[in-house]
Chain A
Amino acid sequence: MSSPDRSWPLWEVFTQGKDGEPHQHAGSVHATDAEHALQNARDTYARRNEGVSLWVVPSAAITASTPEDMGPFFDPANDKAYRHPQFYKVPKGVKVF
């Protein structure tokens, strides 16, 4: 019989570099609960001035696509260049877009 898994749950960590920027995945930490995860995330991923905000999410709460999904999910995009906006002319006067 195998011994029960006694390691702490895994949490995914997202850091925000500056106000207004999106939170981006930084990595993961082990922690007993949300507050503990936030502290571990701070110590592991935000101790070198990396950000202004942190999110932690239980890894178990993430539903991910599988390698088998790769074909049906992503291949159909290959030959549909018209979904990119490069065929539009940018009107004169537009400097930032």
Chain B
Amino acid sequence: MSSLPLFSALLRLADDRLVLGHRTSEWCGHGPILEEDIALANLALDQIGQANHLLTYAATVEKASRDEDALAYFRDAIEYRNALLCELPNGDFGVTIVRQFLYGVYSVLQWDALSKSKDGTLAGIAAKSLKEARYHVRHAGEWVIRLGDGTDESHRRAQVAVDTLWPYTGELFMQPADEAELVADGITADVSLLELAWEVQVADVLRRATLTAPETAWMQRGGREGKHTEHLGHLLAEMQIVARSHPDAKW
């Protein structure tokens, strides 16, 4: 693994979207109704597309003669840098939607900050992705309100989803030490500075959804250092099997 700070920062950005995008794609053909099935597939394609741009750029930065496909399909779980939140199983529709919302709000704030990056390539990827992420938040946020403020059953499930996912949100705002210089140079954004805005926006939607955030101070962490849950290995096995079985295949 390269020690280039920019490469590491791009992997963190890319792996979040790649892993969450793959999770979202697991809904394809299983959506509660046709329209939502298509919507979820759209979200997945947006997220995987963002990861594609980021990994392509990461490969350029690394200069180690491996391309975006090699980075996606030939790294093991221990080399992945996504937040644990992104790799958790989809659960029911409530868990899926609440995660899309919690992560989506974070993603919008992050892309917004990165769209002002002094690195032109990163700023360009961010500006394009920001539009997509804004729609993801709108889609998921409207659903959170409808599920939370819906029937007794939908409210119960949405609250379980919030309680289950909440301890995984803290990791999103833990700023990695090796990024200090990049932040100082205006290349990347300090994620710890996004937390306040995230809390305000999430609290507003949870309130309208009649849901409550749990009072827990303890947060899960590990993904950014390659210490993942057992779930990531299974996800990667499925995602990588074709590329690894046919390493030089073109399609």
Which residues of A approach B to under 8 Å, CB–CB? 8, 29-32, 35-36, 39-40, 42-44, 47
Chain B residues 115 to 145 lying within 8 A of chain A, measured CB to CB, are 135, 138-139, 142
Q: Tally B residues with Cβ within 8 Å of A.
A: 12
CB distance from B25 to the nearest CB of A (A): 15
- The answer to whether A36 touches B146 (Cβ under 8 A) is yes
- The answer to whether A44 touches B142 (Cβ under 8 A) is no
CB distance from B35 to the nearest CB of A (A): 4
- The answer to whether B146 touches A39 (Cβ under 8 A) is no
A35 CA / B34 CA spacing, docked (Å)? 17
A81 CA / B139 CA spacing, docked (Å)? 51
CB distance from B49 to the nearest CB of A (A): 12
Is B229 at the interface (CB under 8 A from chain A)?
Answer: no
Residue ID in chain A nearest B46 by CB atoms: A47
CB distance from B196 to the nearest CB of A (A): 28
A29 CA / B34 CA spacing, docked (Å)? 9
Chain B residues 162 to 183 lying within 8 A of chain A, measured CB to CB, are none
- The answer to whether A30 touches B35 (Cβ under 8 A) is yes
Chain B residues 18 to 50 lying within 8 A of chain A, measured CB to CB, are 33-36, 38-39, 42
Residue ID in chain B nearest A47 by CB atoms: B42
CB distance from B39 to the nearest CB of A (A): 4
Residues of A within 8 A of B38 (CB): 43-44, 47
A39 CA / B136 CA spacing, docked (Å)? 10
User: Can you report 5 residue pairs joining A to B where beta carbons are below 8 Å apart?
Assistant: A30-B33, A35-B142, A39-B138, A39-B142, A43-B35
- The answer to whether A43 touches B42 (Cβ under 8 A) is yes
CB distance from A92 to the nearest CB of B (A): 50
A35 CA / B142 CA spacing, docked (Å)? 8
- For the complex with contacts A30-B34, A39-B39, A39-B139, 18 further pairs of A-B residues with Cβ separation under 8 Å are A8-B33, A29-B35, A30-B33, A30-B35, A32-B146, A35-B142, A36-B142, A36-B146, A39-B142, A40-B36, A43-B35, A43-B38, A43-B39, A43-B42, A43-B139, A44-B35, A47-B38, A47-B42
Chain B residues 38 to 66 lying within 8 A of chain A, measured CB to CB, are 38-39, 42
Among B33, B34, B35, B142, chain A packs the most CB atoms within 10 A around the CB of: B35
Residues of A within 8 A of B35 (CB): 29-31, 40, 43-44
CB distance from A24 to the nearest CB of B (A): 20
CB distance from A26 to the nearest CB of B (A): 13
Residues of A within 8 A of B138 (CB): 39
A8 CA / B33 CA spacing, docked (Å)? 10
Residue ID in chain A nearest B40 by CB atoms: A43
A47 CA / B138 CA spacing, docked (Å)? 15
Residues of B within 8 A of A29 (CB): 35
A44 CA / B37 CA spacing, docked (Å)? 10
CB distance from A27 to the nearest CB of B (A): 11
Residues of B within 8 A of A44 (CB): 34-35, 38
A8 CA / B32 CA spacing, docked (Å)? 12
Residue ID in chain A nearest B145 by CB atoms: A35
Residue ID in chain A nearest B43 by CB atoms: A43
A14 CA / B152 CA spacing, docked (Å)? 34
A44 CA / B139 CA spacing, docked (Å)? 13
Among A36, A39, A43, chain B packs the most CB atoms within 10 A around the CB of: A43
